[in-house]
Amino acid sequence: MNAICRSLRTIAGLHQHQQLLTRPFSIAPVLLYWRKQPRPVMPEPRLLDEYEDHAFRKVWARSPPGPKTSPKNQWTKEKAMFGCYDYQDILGDHPYIHPRHLCLEGPKHVRGFRGNELQRLIRKKCMAGKYMGEEDWKNLQKRINYLYRKMNRKGVYRN
């Protein structure tokens, strides 16, 4: 049989390596072979030995699913009103005491000021800068520079 095949090849003028080179290249047989392969199955959770001496106590590799828990209410009445009337507890229950009356004393650059830390420090530098010591002035400048860079990089208006 081999002799007949060899003679047919020689008659056609093609050798085996030339036949391979003249065939068109295709990956279809490889894809078909890959599709026929069985899919891998996830293994069952194994028992792991807890000790090297293979004691009888075993531990699960994955913990079994527990019961579903509902989220706790973070805004209960007690939590929402926590610290609401602390100033009355400390100072007594006087009818004329209000938090706005408590803010009358303190540094001038803080009284009635609403803003962020950078704005407060710039205000402090303008109002009390000439009365500050050298080390306090340097620390204030360092903090202002740091907050200025931080606000420019990660400000509220940035996306």
Detail the DSSP E strand segments found in the chain: 47-49, 58-60
Which pLDDT score, from 0 to 100, does residue 146 have?
Answer: 94
Task: Answer whether residue 135 is part of any domain.
Answer: yes
pLDDT, one tens digit for every residue, the chain (159 residues): 556 556 555 555 555 555 555 555 566 666 566 666 677 776 666 665 544 445 555 555 666 677 888 888 888 888 888 877 776 656 666 666 666 666 677 788 888 788 899 999 999 999 999 999 999 999 999 999 999 999 888 766 665
103 C-beta neighbours (distance < 10 Å), count: 12
Q: Is residue 104 part of a domain?
A: yes
pTM of the model: 0.38
- Residue 94, domain member (yes or no): yes
Please, are residues 124 and 132 in contact by the beta-carbon 8 Å criterion?
A: no
Domain assignment of residue 142, yes or no:
yes
**Is residue 54 included in any domain, yes or no?**
no
For the chain, the domain total comes to 1
Question: Residue 66 falls within a domain, yes or no?
Answer: no
Range of the structural domain that residue 85 is part of:
79-154
Q: Which DSSP symbol is given to 48?
A: E
**Is residue 112 assigned to a domain?**
yes
Q: Does 52 fall in a domain? A: no
